[in-house]
Chains A and B, each alone.
Chain A
Amino acid sequence: MSRRTTGLAIEAEGLTRSFGETRALAGIDLQVPAGAVYGLLGPNGAGKTTAVRVLATLLRPDGGQARVFGHDVVAEADAVRARVSLTGQYASVDEDLTGTENLILLGRLLGLPKSAARQRAEQLLAAFGLTEAAGRQVKKYSGGMRRRIDIAASILNTPDLLFLDEPTTGLDPRSRNQVWEIVRAVVAHGTTVLLTTQYLDEADKLASRIAVVDHGRVIAEGTPGELKSSVGSGTVHLRLRNADQRPEAERVLQATLSVPVQLEADPVAITARVGGDGSELDASAQAARALGELSRAGIVVDDFSLGQPSLDEVFLALTDHPAVPATDERDDELEAAR
């Protein structure tokens, strides 16, 4: 029943785009398979938003080309628009209007007759838990409700490709989970999703492939597993009872894990990366072994945690520079466009 599409949803080659002096895209290549979530992972200002805006026909590339379901985003923009939807980082519905009005407005613009547009609006509001807020102006919605109405507006015509630009930035954990559930449902029904995010765990949970973007280029691409194993699958954080025992703990960890160990500013804290390339054990086994060795050495550990590598760590590993948030891309664009 679904309009499942096979093959590639997006093919981009050498996309470039500058805003004045800022080179937002420095030659992006992408191949996004249809029918799954594809993650664009990178810090603020990496070029994610610009890439999405080019692919959604909002912005012309300076160079390179991109096709969405085989249609060129510049020459056949209208054919692309008929199949995609965008939920931007910024208001993508009219804040002065109510939830119902926004959805009816978009339904009408997509060609639905009045009664069908109203019906569709009610159906969507119910499915997104917004029935009670239907008659309220969107500017009075909470952050999570805002995101839901944004996404509801984007799936009004069940697009073949949905762009979600940082859909969970600024949301509390519960609202984030709700968005994730919705994304999963959308993909299960055959829509391809291109999701940008700053969070590795989000890309990890949702995306079947990820492109890491930095300074307007794709610097790594693969499944979440591939990316993480290239960086090391986790980080062990330890807090000791006595600061005096830290030198010894450092020695024990180095011997057990054979990786560099980092001493934190906090005199009782120690961090080590585990599960990287070449180790025969996975991260948790390594961590368990390290913990065992520490207790054998009589070192008292008060707090122990095994976490996934942060985006910072992936970045550090991939680029040798930390993921420093740059300026806001859309601001650059507004600036340069005028």
Chain B
Amino acid sequence: MSSDTATSTGRAPTVFVPSSEALATVLAPGARPPRPSPLSASLTFSWRALLKIKHVPEQLFDVTAFPIIMVLMFTYLFGGALADSPRDYLQFFLPGIMVTSVVMITMYTGVGLNTDIEKGVFDRFRTLPVWRPAALVGMIVGDVLRYVLAALVILTVGLVLGFRPDGGVVGVLAGIGLLVVFSFAFSWVWTFFGLILRSEKSVMGVSMMVLFPLTFLSNVFVDPSTMPGWLQAFVKANPITHLVSSVRAAMAGTTDASAMMWIALWSAAFILVFGPLTMHRYNRR
């Protein structure tokens, strides 16, 4: 800003002087509006999540670049060894890596919540007379959009590399839908950890410790029938295995009813256990 523009326009430097008239206008109490419904409050909080993506687009790196790297890396690393060609492997592998990537990024829900609390914004939210879970529900709804975005990125890369699902558009969308529903439920695990752990780093640490075994010790990369018995037992109980089976089936145009049932049970369990635990911590602090 040059000094001559200031003189030519005659503009005074912008020093704020509180004016009592202006303050009087904003301080005149109007009628208090009725408190918003739980849905409206949650949607407002998810609007906040969208605004954050708009202002800090770098945060989408996790849901775009990371999944692309995962698909490329494993397709070409394992493709030749595990199937006749990377392209053949991709038909089996793509739903699995989609599940892995999306489930991995659910941990950022916990990291984000932890950062928010550290900064102090949640103090304001917690003094508002709104439905208590709204701030967290809204946050997770915002994250769900990131999950959808990650799934679509992976699908696009897969299609480019030669993934040709038999289930067509409907099957693929059904698969992504299952994945997103499960991830929404699973995110409540991380809101809980985001509230009880000390720092962003420890949330990351705990998340990785849980997510690595959960995603790798499953049917994502290989058929479990080649594994030793004890490991097969774990893999069969692993919710990620059920999720991958049902997404794979949906994308192939079939239905894996028992896997679907397990996914419904696991999702309900995550919400029913970690939802109240999270809210208990949230209110108790």
Task: Looking at the assembled complex, report how far the CB atom of B19 sits from the nearest CB atom of chain A, in whole angstroms.
Answer: 7
> Which residue of chain A is the closest to B16 with respect to CB atoms?
A129
Q: Which chain A positions have C-beta within 8 A of B32?
A: 82, 110-111, 157
Q: Which chain B positions have C-beta within 8 A of A110?
A: 32-33, 35-36, 128-129
Query: What's the count of A-B pairs with C-beta under 8 Å?
Result: 151
Task: Looking at the assembled complex, report how far the CB atom of A332 sits from the nearest CB atom of chain B, in whole angstroms.
Answer: 13
The answer on a CB contact under 8 Å between A88 and B123 is: yes
User: In the docked arrangement, what's the CA distance between A148 and B285, Å?
Assistant: 27
Q: A110-B33, A185-B24 are in contact. Are A178 and B18 (CB under 8 A)?
A: yes
Task: Looking at the assembled complex, report how far the CB atom of B59 sits from the nearest CB atom of chain A, in whole angstroms.
Answer: 10
The answer on a CB contact under 8 Å between A97 and B55 is: yes
Whether a CB of chain B sits under 8 angstroms from the CB of A302 is no
> Which residue of chain B is the closest to A335 with respect to CB atoms?
B198
Q: Which chain B positions have C-beta within 8 A of A82?
A: 32, 35, 129
The answer on a CB contact under 8 Å between B29 and A2 is: yes
Contact of B124 among A86, A129, A158, A186 (CB under 8 A): A86
Q: Which chain A positions have C-beta within 8 A of B196?
A: 338
Whether a CB of chain B sits under 8 angstroms from the CB of A66 is no
The answer on a CB contact under 8 Å between A86 and B36 is: no
Q: A58-B126, A111-B33 are in contact. Are A126 and B22 (CB under 8 A)?
A: yes
Whether a CB of chain A sits under 8 angstroms from the CB of B1 is no
Contact of A96 among B15, B55, B117, B198 (CB under 8 A): B55
Q: Which chain B positions have C-beta within 8 A of A129?
A: 14, 16-18
Q: Which chain B positions have C-beta within 8 A of A98?
A: 55
The answer on a CB contact under 8 Å between B27 and A128 is: no
**A82-106 to B contact mask, C-beta < 8 Å, 1/0:** 1011101111111111100100011
The answer on a CB contact under 8 Å between B36 and A185 is: no
**A53-64 to B contact mask, C-beta < 8 Å, 1/0:** 100111110000
User: In the docked arrangement, what's the CA distance between A293 and B101, Å?
Assistant: 84
The answer on a CB contact under 8 Å between B44 and A109 is: yes
Contact of A127 among B14, B19, B124 (CB under 8 A): B19
User: In the docked arrangement, what's the CA distance between A164 and B157, Å?
Assistant: 52
Task: Looking at the assembled complex, report how far the CB atom of A268 sits from the nearest CB atom of chain B, in whole angstroms.
Answer: 39
The answer on a CB contact under 8 Å between B121 and A111 is: no
Report B211-264 residues with CB < 8 Å from chain A CB.
none
Whether a CB of chain A sits under 8 angstroms from the CB of B41 is yes
Whether a CB of chain A sits under 8 angstroms from the CB of B74 is no
User: In the docked arrangement, what's the CA distance between A89 and B34, Å?
Assistant: 29
Report A94-137 residues with CB < 8 Å from chain B CB.
94-98, 101, 105-106, 108-113, 116, 123-124, 126-130, 132, 137
Task: Looking at the assembled complex, report how far the CB atom of B144 sits from the nearest CB atom of chain A, in whole angstroms.
Answer: 19
The answer on a CB contact under 8 Å between A81 and B127 is: yes
Whether a CB of chain A sits under 8 angstroms from the CB of B25 is yes
Task: Looking at the assembled complex, report how far the CB atom of A170 sits from the nearest CB atom of chain B, in whole angstroms.
Answer: 15
Task: Looking at the assembled complex, report how far the CB atom of B194 sits from the nearest CB atom of chain A, in whole angstroms.
Answer: 11
User: In the docked arrangement, what's the CA distance between A201 and B123, Å?
Assistant: 28
The answer on a CB contact under 8 Å between B127 and A96 is: no
Report A37-78 residues with CB < 8 Å from chain B CB.
53, 56-60, 78
The answer on a CB contact under 8 Å between A95 and B123 is: no
Q: A182-B23, A334-B118 are in contact. Are A158 and B29 (CB under 8 A)?
A: yes
The answer on a CB contact under 8 Å between B52 and A123 is: no
Q: A111-B33, A111-B36 are in contact. Are A337 and B25 (CB under 8 A)?
A: no
Report B41-97 residues with CB < 8 Å from chain A CB.
41, 44-45, 47-48, 51-52, 55-56
Q: A86-B123, A88-B124, A338-B198 are in contact. Are A1 and B25 (CB under 8 A)?
A: no
The answer on a CB contact under 8 Å between A185 and B128 is: no
**Most chain A beta-carbon contacts within 10 A, residue among B26, B44, B52:** B26
User: In the docked arrangement, what's the CA distance between A113 and B40, Å?
Assistant: 10
The answer on a CB contact under 8 Å between B27 and A155 is: yes
Whether a CB of chain B sits under 8 angstroms from the CB of A174 is yes
**Most chain A beta-carbon contacts within 10 A, residue among B47, B121, B125:** B121
**Most chain A beta-carbon contacts within 10 A, residue among B24, B36, B127:** B127
User: In the docked arrangement, what's the CA distance between A85 and B20, Å?
Assistant: 21
User: In the docked arrangement, what's the CA distance between A127 and B16, Å?
Assistant: 10
Q: Which chain A positions have C-beta within 8 A of B19?
A: 127
The answer on a CB contact under 8 Å between B18 and A137 is: no
Task: Looking at the assembled complex, report how far the CB atom of A230 sits from the nearest CB atom of chain B, in whole angstroms.
Answer: 33
Q: Which chain B positions have C-beta within 8 A of A130?
A: 16
User: In the docked arrangement, what's the CA distance between A336 and B19, Å?
Assistant: 43
User: In the docked arrangement, what's the CA distance between A137 and B54, Å?
Assistant: 11
The answer on a CB contact under 8 Å between B127 and A91 is: no
**B122-139 to A contact mask, C-beta < 8 Å, 1/0:** 011111111000100000
Q: List 9 A-B contacts (CB under 8 A).
A: A89-B120, A92-B123, A95-B119, A97-B52, A108-B40, A108-B44, A109-B44, A129-B18, A335-B198
Q: Which A-B residue pairs are the 3 nearest by beta carbons?
A: A90-B120, A129-B16, A111-B33
